[in-house]
Amino acid sequence: MTDRAAEFDEARLVAAAKGGDYNAFHALVEAHAPHLYALARRVTGQDADAEDVVQTTFLKALENLANFREEAAFGTWVHAIAVNSALKLLRQRKRTWVGQPGDGEDDSLPQPQLVADWRPSVEQQVEQREFHELLQQVLDELDEKHRVVFVLRDIEQMSVKETAATLGLTESNVKVRLMRARLMLRERLTALLGEGPNLKAHMDDHDHAHLLEGRP
């Protein structure tokens, strides 16, 4: 189905739901809940929190369905509710909020320590479920302020501007955190998926010609 056809279909479902058709509402939930669950799980780092976020999101959608304008995209609407609910949960739990700039917000970057190729087609060699769990575990280990920026920018594809506005950060904070997040995830994944020699030693001297020429 094309995006436009899907939107049309969705607008019809929204109209039917507003008219009292539970099955139409349920079809909208089924279409969006898995993605929102994954988003909430990544942001909060907890299964139970992800469930809370998804349930809250659709209960809110249901409560406000009568006021929802059919020309707007239902998916965009529930996505925004889910992001805000997930961030609210984090904010309630932590004394320091991810949107607080401050500590360590200089431009320094983590230097790559492990530099090795990854096993070829690694994502096809392990079961999808297992690979998903590996990615999730590595993401869970990332500290919250970097994890949230990575999820909103790289997985949810929100713009720098949108991410900054959502988190109350400057755009430059978002860019630095995204860079750090990617480098930290890359490092950890290399530890798990890397093969062959660690080329890190060669990164320090900025003279790599010997690698190409086969000199020791």
Partner 1 sequence: MNCDDMLKMINRYVDGEIDPSMCANLERHLAECNPCRVVVDTLRKTVQFYKGDQMTELPIQFKKKLDDALRQKWDQTMGKG
- Site of interaction with partner 1 (CB under 8 A): 20, 22, 25-26, 29, 33-35, 37-38, 47, 51, 54-55, 58-59, 62-63, 65, 109, 111-112, 115-118, 123, 131-132, 135, 139, 150, 154-155, 157, 175, 178-179, 182-183, 185-186, 189-190, 194, 199-200, 202-203, 206, 208-209, 211-212
Q: What are the structure tokens assigned to 1, written together?
A: 């189905």
Q: Is the Cβ of residue 34 or residue 104 nearer to partner 1 in the bound state?
A: 34
Q: Is the Cβ of residue 7 or residue 35 nearer to partner 1 in the bound state?
A: 35
Shortest separation between residue 102's beta carbon and partner 1, angstroms: 22
Helical (H) or strand (E) element with 75: helix 74-93
Shortest separation between residue 196's beta carbon and partner 1, angstroms: 9
Q: Which long-range contacts (CB under 8 A, 24 or more apart) does 174-181 make?
A: 174/149, 176/105, 176/107, 177/145, 177/146, 177/149, 177/150, 178/149, 178/150, 178/153, 178/154, 179/109, 180/109, 180/110, 180/146, 181/142, 181/146, 181/147, 181/149, 181/150, 181/154
CA distance 158 to 150: 10
Shortest separation between residue 11's beta carbon and partner 1, angstroms: 19
Shortest separation between residue 99's beta carbon and partner 1, angstroms: 21
Report DSSP state, residue 65. Answer: G
Q: Is the Cβ of residue 12 or residue 208 nearer to partner 1 in the bound state?
A: 208
Q: Is the Cβ of residue 96 or residue 113 nearer to partner 1 in the bound state?
A: 113
Residue 118, SS3 per DSSP = strand
Shortest separation between residue 207's beta carbon and partner 1, angstroms: 10
Q: What are the structure tokens assigned to 206, written together?
A: 């900025």
Q: Is the Cβ of residue 96 or residue 197 nearer to partner 1 in the bound state?
A: 197
